[in-house]
Structure 1
Amino acid sequence: MRIVNEQAEVVFDSTGMAVQINGTVQDITERKLIEEGLRTRERQQAAISELGMHALEDPDINTLLNEAVSITALALGVEYCEILELLPDGKALLLKAGVGWKTGSVGCVTVGAGNDSQAGYTLHSDKPVIVGDIRTETRFSAPSLLLDHSVVSGMSVVIKSKDYSYGVLSIHSTMRRTFTRDDANFLQSVAIMISDAIERKKLSSRINHIASYDTLTDLPNRILFMDRVSMTLSRAKRQKEQIAVLYLNLDRFKVINDSMGNETGDRLLISASERLVNCVREGDTVSRMGGDEFAIMLGGITSASDVAKVSQKVIEAVSKPFVLDDREMHITASIGISMYPQDDEEMEGLIKKARAAMLQAKEHGRNNDRFYNTEMETSSYEMMMMENDLRKALDRRELLLHYQPQVDITTGRITGVEALVRWRHPDRGMVSPAEFIPMAEETGLIIPIGEWVLHTALAQNKAWQEDGLAPIKMSVNFSSVQFRQKDPVGLVANALRKTGLKPEYMGLEITESVIMKGADVVIKKFHELKGLGIHICMDDFGTGYSSLSYLKRFPIDILKIDQSFARNVTTDTNDASIVTATIAMAHGLGITTIAEGVETKEQLEFFRSHKCEVVQGYLFSKPLPAEDVTKLLREGGRFEIKDL
């Protein structure tokens, strides 16, 4: 069939009578085909853009799949479109989303995943599979799903990620259609967008799980435990019920961990956690609070004797020998118990008092339990003394800063350092930050300590520059407590002004817990900090409870991959997948990535191969005093990457 354009002109004589008709007939088939092709491409590009906008809204997968089939069918002008999900057994595909199909088909109909069906054939093909007429197709047979809907033509592409195939995206028409290369490219683009969205959802789900569950034992972590206690308390208050919190410490665990190594210690914690879970009812919660400390919440308690029975059951279970590598190991448990409403009516108070009772159990011989009573101190005498000493540490100039280099993974050049506070106690020696930083945050001492760290670190960086050394960025940690103070933006601005350091040479490392609060006032503070000209870094990414959508809402320059991922990235495929996806996601958002805790050449090579820009860890340098960093910078400020 050809398309023509006809034009005619009538010729009249002197009397006005028509005597002749002059006309032309022009074949405009090619022009019309080009115009139609342009309209089709515009329609398809608009569809891709619309689907992309839906994906950015971070909907649930089912919603996105339904949007995808609707948009695809409309863009290609077909009656039917479906997404088939490959089932776990790999033998069949389930109709996951579709348009045009009979009511009740979606979520129920399956087709074989073998080469004898169009979907199965597509699943094992790297190219789009185009069917001109299903009735004469010889590569595979037509399934009843298509024949029952009078389908004639169609096209299918596989939906796959780097590591696996999710399923098949197909379109069908009841008319004989000739699908073009542009149509195939469009369908593949939709499949890629679906695959990317599924991968983002899997990563987000994994990160959210990590945020709520302990990565070693897979027990609920402190955040989730506190949330569950709060919810159970609300119900208990309405229904006049009692609940109990048991706070547990594993006696002698540190001895075993220090003597046998972290790997053995980790396995012991896993075994102990399994025993704890077996001691409670299904509706109760067992949580790892950190280190060798656990907590248990018991709901619907009728009496203190019920709680005591559970506590003794736990003590007996933990005291039984653990056998690891044919070697018996013995630990015991000290347990503190608090109850609602007798001891406290709020979540924080119940946990605090249960822990205080646990300390009393340890002081009274261990391997026993103690119910909280009002005579117990809220913390041990030693902790009180440490708090008093910490209050005086600044005035006594016992605090100091060490600096750990951050290294360009390509050139080996030191691009910056992270300032890390240390406490040189006159009697205890060097006190671990893990001991005094949580105490500082709990007591509010982190405010003056944090201000001292900020001014000292920026002044040191300015001093290096005035000494003629190559400018580098100084990264300073900023806790959630500091961020919640009255004017954190003014604090940073004042430090920059007093030290004279240009803002581009400062980075502020802020944890996910701050970012996840996400209130308008928090977002406003972030933009004000960014307005100073400094770099904003999300610290310890993956250890909190962040959603990927938060990265789009905050002016983040740097994403710092937590060392817990770096530690296992070459041995744990889950950690490797999360890190790979995180780096790719960060690059897609224009965010620089830093991997901390890099200690081996294998880890370095992994991050280098995945184009992480900056690394930090003991492979290059431990945190150093200022004078040692000065020496490094004077000697060129560079590590020989190729020699590692």
Structure 2
Amino acid sequence: MKHVSFVNTPAVPLSPPHGLTSLATTLPFPTEMEGVANAFVQQTADPILLVNAQGGVVWANASALTQFDALLDAESGCRWGQVWATEHRANALAAFDQALAQGRARFTATTIASDQALLEWDVTLTQIRGFTPGSSNIIAMAREAQSPGAGPSHLRRGDLRDALTGLPNRMGLQQELHRRTLRRVADSGQFALAVLDIDRFKLLNSRLGHKACDAMLTEFANCMAQAANDHAFVARVGGDEFALIVDGQVETDKIVTMIERLIQQCADRILNSTDTAGFSVSAGVATFPLDGEADQELLRNARTALEHARRAGPGKTVLFNGSMRQQLQRHLSMMEVAKVTIASDWIKPFYQPKVDLQSGCVVGLEALLRWQKPGAAVELPASILAAFDDPELATCISETMQNKVLTDIAAWRRAGSALPVAINASAADFRDPDFAGKFLKKLYEVDIPTHLLELEVTEGVFLGLGAADVGEALRELHTAGVRISLDDFGTGFASLSHLKVYPVDVLKIDRSFVNNLPDSSEDRAIVSAMIGLGHNLAIEVVAEGIEAMQQATLLRDMGCHTGQGFLFSRAVPSAVVPHLSRQHIMAGSQPQALPRRVS
């Protein structure tokens, strides 16, 4: 028997118009019995699914949504085969074909719950006609196959409560959401759903240990429950993920403010009761019925808003809007491209020269990330920008760049044309408490002197959790002879105290201050102050983004040591670097010795 194709046919999301009343009205119930039919279908403990002839799950009752995790995890709709464990999908597809051909079929299969429990189901498939004119649909009813003496799965799996915190769990949230959406549809009420996530929880776990983090989760849960009181419903739906349902007819911005205040109250309590610095919580908020009239649609949209909150920075609360779905899809597409790029080894460093503005000699290089699919054009990092929001992907990219840059430097040394190279380090690198030791070990293994490496960091790495570890790592690298460069100085979270506390050898003036030179008197004053600061602290000053000779000449006359930008050269492949190292790009005298800060 030929299988239905599940590849090119799109699944239908579990949202209106395939809603609760749609199912009952397609079955042969008298009009006066439709309400009873809806109540029966929704309240039964057995999962019920409606599947179209193409294999897309178009409707599910409350029990199915709480017990079949695949229905929630599929952002763009769930396929019939995806519901079941991999080893049973062939049987599920064969039974589906049989039901389409003969009207009825039956099979057994398993699913894996979110807590990894293996559940076995006895599934009956029945064909119905007329749900969509001219097509057939399948009603699937699943009943859990129990071994003798075993209770129902919802009892075996801890009922509706989270074992650690005592709050309602994910299943409890599903039931509460479903109850509230049904009630609010009837009385035209409103409520808001917030999904909360503790920022950098993996880092907290690695630093504090599971026992301390469990105590922190319990404390946060208790605070949320107490603060919410009778005005809200609070649940723990994952390791560090909580949900909050708030009733109200007030404006959405006021609801968001109230949620932010509640979160901050509990975060402050954690900060005051523990020695955890930088504890914060991100949240995404969706409102009913504006952002979704079905419970699962509302939950998906709140999670979409949470993703945007995470990317906006720690401690942010973001309200859902319709454009977020497209933005999230672009973000996820970037992540996929980045994963393929890493796995395929398409990342490659390009090098932009740093020029002594007095002599015109190339005195160093900055390694810049590029990637290239075979046979395609070289891509800039902007095309995989989303990967840098993910600590694991960011670390993989950083390690790949470091290894390739060190390989290039070793080759240039053997050819007698090595120059100092600056390489960027991100906050993700410093999550490893032994980052400095591992970095130095790589240098020693390939026999590269430390003075040939410069580590560039932005001031963002000094903020939040692990700032003390960042300082220790930079001091270890500086003591070993690696120069430390502070990138984008004068933007973002700039603080003069960083120059006092951390061993900075190089200040990089951001291109935004160079662009308008020499015309802008304000930018001239700012750049002059930065150069003077560098001189007084014995720190080299590098100006980025130089594109015109007037800019280079003015910066040189103001006392800036070094410059880089398109005036001198774009970033080039490693094979071109030996030629660059022999060039004098600006006319002038012999190069001056670059300063190195003494601790």
TM (normalized to structure 1)?
0.43
TM (normalized to structure 2)?
0.46
Q: Which has the higher contact order (CA 8 A, sep 6+)?
A: 2
